[in-house]
Structure 1
Amino acid sequence: MNQPLIFDIKRYAINDGPGIRITIFFKGCPLSCRWCHNPESQSPAQQKFYTASRCIGARDCIEICPNDALTLTLEGIVTDWDLCNLCGKCADACPTKAIEMSGRFYSTDELLKIIEKERAHFEQSGGGVTISGGEPLMFSEYLMELLVLCKQAGIHTAVDTSGFAKKETLLRVAEFTDLFLYDLKLTDPVQHKKWTGVENKLILENLKVLVDKKYPVNIRVPLIKNVNADERNLKETAHFISGLNGNKPFVNLLPYHPIGRGKYKKMGVAYDSYGMEELSEKEIEHAVQVFRAYGIKVEVGG
C-alpha cells in the first residue's frame, strides 16, 4: 500500500466542509498550481523548512548533523543539499524550531485516535474529518482504509480533491465518502495546463460522473485575478456547472490571497506571482452575480 506522508493536521477547521472538523493533509499532488498556498503539499517526499527570523545561531544543528551539511552564515543556516539526507536531527536539536521537517508517517489507526479526540466538536456542530492535500486520491488504498475506519466509528467524512485520478479510483473512494470538496480551477484546457501543469479533461469528466451518480459534491473555485476571474472564464465555468445533471452542486468561491509566500521562502524557493493579484470586493461580488445568473447557489469562502 502506497502510504502518504502527513504534513499537517488542522484541528477546529471551519472552512473544510460542514461544522467543526479536523483536516488531515496528505503530502503529494499531481498538479503544480502556481498559486498553491501549501507548496510543501506538492512533493510526496519529506522536506525541510528554515525560518531565518527564528534562528538564534545556537549551532546545535551544525554540531549534531552527521554529514556536516550545515553552515552558519550572515544570512543564517545554509544547507548543502548534496550532503543533507533529511534525517531530521537538525530539526530535533534546534531550540527555536527555526528548522522544521515537513511530513511524517502515521498509521491509519494512529490517525483515527487523533480524529476521535475531536468527536465532541463533531457531535456539537455536525462536523467530521476532511482528508485534503496535496491530492488524497494519489494514495487511494490508504485513503479508503482511513475512510472505512471513520465510517465504522460514525464520523462524517469529506475528501478535498482536484479530481485528477482514474474514474475507477474515484468511484471506489466515493463509496466511503459523505462529501466531496471538488476543486474546479479553469474550464479552458490550455489555460488549465498553463497554470496547473495538467490538462483538465479528466477532472471535468470525473465531476460529471460524481454528479450523475448523485454523490454529494461541493465545488470550490479559486478566484484569481489575471488567471481565472475574467468574464469569459467565469461564464464558461458557471455554464459548465449549470449543465450538470440533477441537483447542481453548491459552489464556494475562494478569493486568492498570497498567504503561501512565506512558505516558499522557508523552503528556499523563490516566489513568483506570475502576475496573479487579489480581487477587489467589487470584482468578487461580480463573480458571485455571474454564477447566480446561471441559477447556481454560491457563497464566498468556505
Structure 2
Amino acid sequence: MKYPEIMNIQKYSIHDGDGIRTTVFFKGCHLKCWWCHNPESQKFTPQLMFHADRCGGCHACEQICSHHAVTVRDGIACTDRTKCELCRECLDHCVNNAREIVGKEYTISELMKEIEKDCMFYEESGGGVTLSGGEVMAQDMDYIEQLLKKLKRKGYNVAIDTCGYAPQENYERVLPYVDTFLYDIKTMDPEKHEKYMGKDNELILSNLRFISERGARIYIRIPVIGGVNDTEEEMEAMITFLKQSISVSQINLLPYHNIAGGKYDKLDIKYKGEAFTIPPKEQMEAFQRQFIQNGFANTKIGG
C-alpha cells in the first residue's frame, strides 16, 4: 500500500458537502484544468512553493543548499527546480518562512487522529468528512478503501469530491462507504474538454452513469467559466444528459474566480486562467433558473 501525498487538512469546511466538515485534500490529478484554483494539487509528488513577498534576500538558503539550486537575484532567492531535491535544508534556515514543501504522507492512523479532533462538529451540524483533491479516486485505492472503512466504523458521514477521471473499478470499491459524491461536470463537448482539461470526458460521464445506476447520492458541481461553458446551450446540453441518465440530489453552479494566479507564481507555473472571465451575478441567476425550470429544483449558486 502506497501512502498518498496530502496537501491540506481543512477544518471547519462548509463548502464541501453537508454541515461542518473536515476536508482532506489529496495531491495528484490526471486533469490539468486551465482555471484550477489549486495548482499544487495536480502533481502526485511533493512540490516547493516559494512566497517571494516574504523573501528578505538574506542568502541563507543559497549558502545552505548543498545541491546549488538557489541563487539570489535582485534580492529574491530563485530556485532551479531541476536541481532541487526537496531536502528541506532551505526551509529549515529561512527565517521568514518564504519556502514550504506542499505534500505530506500520513498513515491512516495519523490521518484519523486529525479527523477525530473535529467529530463534535459533525454531530452538531450534520457534517462529516470529505475526501477531495487533486483527485482522491486516482490515489492508491487500498489506502482509500481502508480509510473509508475506518471513517464509516466511526459513524462519520463521508463525501467524495471527484472530477470523475479514474478507473471505474475504483468507484465500485468505494460505493459501499460513501454517503455523497460531489461530482464535477465542466462541459459536454469532448473536444473542448480535452483542450481545457487535457482529457476528453468519455470516462467521466461513464463513471457518473455507473455510480448513479447503483443508487449513489450525487451532487453535481458545475464550474461556470466565462469563455468556456457560460452559455445557455452549454447548460442545456448538461441538463439533457442529466435528465436522461443521472439521479441528481443537488446541483451547485460555481462561478469562476481568478484569485489563484499567485499560487502559480509560487510554483513557477504559467497561469492560463487569465484567458477567462468571471460570470456576472445576473448570468449565474439565469443559469440557475434554467436548471430549476427543467426539474432540478435544488439548484444553488456556490457551495
TM-score range, shorter chain: over 0.9
Query: Over residues 218-269 of structure 1, what are the superposed CA-to-partner deviations in whole Å (9 max), with x where a residue is unaligned?
Result: 1100001110111211110111112235x43310110000121110010112
Equivalent residue letter for 1:221 = I
Q: Determine the C-alpha separation between the residues in 2 that align with 1:166 and 1:69.
A: 38
- Across the aligned residues of Structure 1 and Structure 2, the Cα RMSD in angstroms comes to 1.3
1:187 aligns with 2:188: yes
1:31 aligns with 2:24: no
Matched residue SS, 1:181:
strand
Match of residue 157 from structure 1: 158
For residues 43-82 of structure 1, what are the structure 2 equivalents within 5 Å? 43-74=43-74, 76-82=76-82
Q: 1:195/1:75 Cα in 2 relative to 1: closer, same or farther (>3 Å)?
A: farther
Match of residue 115 from structure 1: 115
Q: Determine the C-alpha separation between the residues in 1 that align with 2:29 and 2:110.
A: 23
Matched residue SS, 2:110:
helix
Question: TM-score normalized by structure 2?
Answer: 0.96
For residues 98-177 of structure 1, what are the structure 2 equivalents within 5 Å? 98-139=98-139, 140-177=141-178
1:250 aligns with 2:250: yes
Equivalent residue letter for 1:130 = T
Q: Determine the C-alpha separation between the residues in 2 that align with 1:136 and 1:277.
A: 28
Query: Over residues 39-71 of structure 1, what are the superposed CA-to-partner deviations in whole Å (9 max), with x where a residue is unaligned?
Result: 011110111011111112233322322222211
Mean alpha-carbon deviation: is it higher for 265-274 or for 92-101?
265-274
Q: Determine the C-alpha separation between the residues in 1 that align with 2:273 and 2:157.
A: 37
Q: 1:193/1:274 Cα in 2 relative to 1: closer, same or farther (>3 Å)?
A: farther
Q: How many residues align?
A: 301
Q: Determine the C-alpha separation between the residues in 1 that align with 2:95 and 2:256.
A: 34
Match of residue 204 from structure 2: 203
Q: Which runs of 5+ in 2 are unaligned?
A: none
1:236 aligns with 2:224: no
Query: Over residues 193-220 of structure 1, what are the superposed CA-to-partner deviations in whole Å (9 max), with x where a residue is unaligned?
Result: 1111111111111111211211111110
Identity of aligned residues (%): 40
Is contact 2:48-2:86 (8 Å) kept? yes
Question: TM-score normalized by structure 1?
Answer: 0.96
Q: In the TM superposition, what is the alpha-carbon distance from 1:121 to its structure 2 partner? A: 0.9
Match of residue 90 from structure 1: 90
1:220 aligns with 2:221: yes
Is contact 1:52-1:75 (8 Å) kept? no
Query: Over residues 160-194 of structure 1, what are the superposed CA-to-partner deviations in whole Å (9 max), with x where a residue is unaligned?
Result: 01111222211111111111111111111111111
Q: In the TM superposition, what is the alpha-carbon distance from 1:82 to its structure 2 partner? A: 3.2
Matched residue SS, 1:277:
coil
Q: In the TM superposition, what is the alpha-carbon distance from 1:274 to its structure 2 partner? A: 5.7
Is contact 1:127-1:156 (8 Å) kept? yes
Equivalent residue letter for 2:222 = V
Match of residue 289 from structure 2: 289
Q: Which runs of 5+ in 1 are unaligned?
A: none
Match of residue 2 from structure 2: 2
Equivalent residue letter for 2:14 = I
Is contact 2:35-2:272 (8 Å) kept? no
Q: Determine the C-alpha separation between the residues in 2 that align with 1:83 and 1:252.
A: 43
Is contact 2:256-2:279 (8 Å) kept? yes
